[in-house]
Amino acid sequence: MSSLADSDLLHVWETMRRQTLPRRAAALLAVVAPGMTSDQLAGMRLGERERRLLDLHARCFGPRLSCVADCPQCGETFEFELDARALSAGWPDPAEVAQPASIETHDYRVDMHLPTVADSIAASDGHDAAQAYTTLLQRCLVCTTPTGETVAPEALPPALLQEAAARMESADPAAELMISMPCPACDAVLNEPLDLCAFCWAEVEARAPRLLAEVHALASHYGWSEADILAMSRIRRDAYLGMVSS
Ligand SMILES: [Zn+2]
């Protein structure tokens, strides 16, 4: 995995700003893994995507994830930090993640495949969370009756759907990251999903205007091109910025 060059960061920020978070995350991962084909990226399981996003965050934006949460019990808003590198400790090796076993009941057979980057993108293109959930079910589950008829996954009994979801979650536990955090003001324990796509994008959105301001300052003063300024090392750019502002 390569680093995220400033010119690449600005390109992704500019081209993906109106896209969904899963599309933005895929664009970032494509930039830092230039040897990966678009098919390989599309077929990447979500646990592997999360692992790569954590790595990207740690290497390009630092290992600390700054979080804000609201306690549902007492209403307290509190901030805390997570270490990106510690989060992935205990995750299974991606090579060891296997597709969950099919479920067979008297009435149905449910075959599953673990959600991929392409599945996540397709789900995120829907209008709302309910449609996203249905899209994910339709893409990841194949349900049939003993006579071979196909059944829409959303028509399955809820208990069977829950069983399928539980099998997928335990097969690829890194795919949906949850954190448990005690509320500092009461005895509640918060269980919050951690959206690494959102964390990485927040860093991109914070860094892009700073980079543009640097280009503006140096281009205005020296007349250098944007490409030349962005290609400069951080040490050299900071030195020139210091001279411009002194
Ligand atoms: Zn609380």
Give pLDDT, residue 85.
80
pLDDT at 1 over 80: no
β-partners of residue 182 are 189
Per cent of the chain over pLDDT 90 is: 76
Residues, Cβ < 5 Å to ion ligand 1? 71, 73-74, 76, 183, 185-186, 188
CA 190 – ligand 1 centroid, Å: 8
pLDDT at 236 over 90: yes
Pick the residue with more confidence: 178 or 29? 29
Q: In this structure, are residues 68 and 79 in contact, taking their beta carbons and an 8 Å threshold?
A: yes
Q: What is the mean pLDDT of residues 45-68?
A: 93
Residue 191 CB burial class (10 angstroms; 0-12, 13-18, ≥19): exposed
* C-alpha distances in Å from residue 242, one per residue of 155, 220, 233: 64, 14, 14
Tell me how far apart the alpha carbons of residues 103 and 160 are, in angstroms, rounded to a whole number. Answer: 8
Instruction: Quote the tokens at residue 174.
Output: 């890194």
Residue 46 confidence class, pLDDT cut points 50, 70, 90: very high
Kindly report, residue by residue over 88-144, the tens digit of the pLDDT: 888 888 888 999 999 999 999 999 999 999 999 999 998 898 899 899 999 999 999
Tell me how far apart the alpha carbons of residues 83 and 87 are, in angstroms, rounded to a whole number. Answer: 6
Q: In this structure, are residues 196 and 50 in contact, taking their beta carbons and an 8 Å threshold?
A: yes
CA 192 – ligand 1 centroid, Å: 14
Helix and strand totals (H; E) in the chain: 11, 8
CA 180 – ligand 1 centroid, Å: 13
Q: What is the mean pLDDT of residues 61-87?
A: 89
Q: In this structure, are residues 60 and 29 in contact, taking their beta carbons and an 8 Å threshold?
A: no
Tell me how far apart the alpha carbons of residues 11 and 105 are, in angstroms, rounded to a whole number. Answer: 50
Give per-residue burial for 123-152: e unless 16+ CB within 10 Å, then b.
Answer: bbeeeeeeebeebbbbbbbebeeeeeeebe
CA 85 – ligand 1 centroid, Å: 27
Q: Return the minimum-mean-pLDDT range out of 40-54, 62-76, 199-213.
A: 62-76
CA 5 – ligand 1 centroid, Å: 41
| Averaged pLDDT of the chain | 93
pLDDT at 233 over 80: yes
Kindly report, residue by residue over 155-199, the tens digit of the pLDDT: 999 999 999 999 999 999 889 888 888 898 998 998 888 999 999
Give pLDDT, residue 120.
96
Q: Tell whether the torsion through CA atoms of 18, 20, 22 and 23 is positive or negative.
A: negative
Phi-psi bin for 223: left (phi > 0), alpha (psi -120 to 50), beta? left
CA 70 – ligand 1 centroid, Å: 8
Give pLDDT, residue 84.
83
Per cent of the chain over pLDDT 70 is: 100
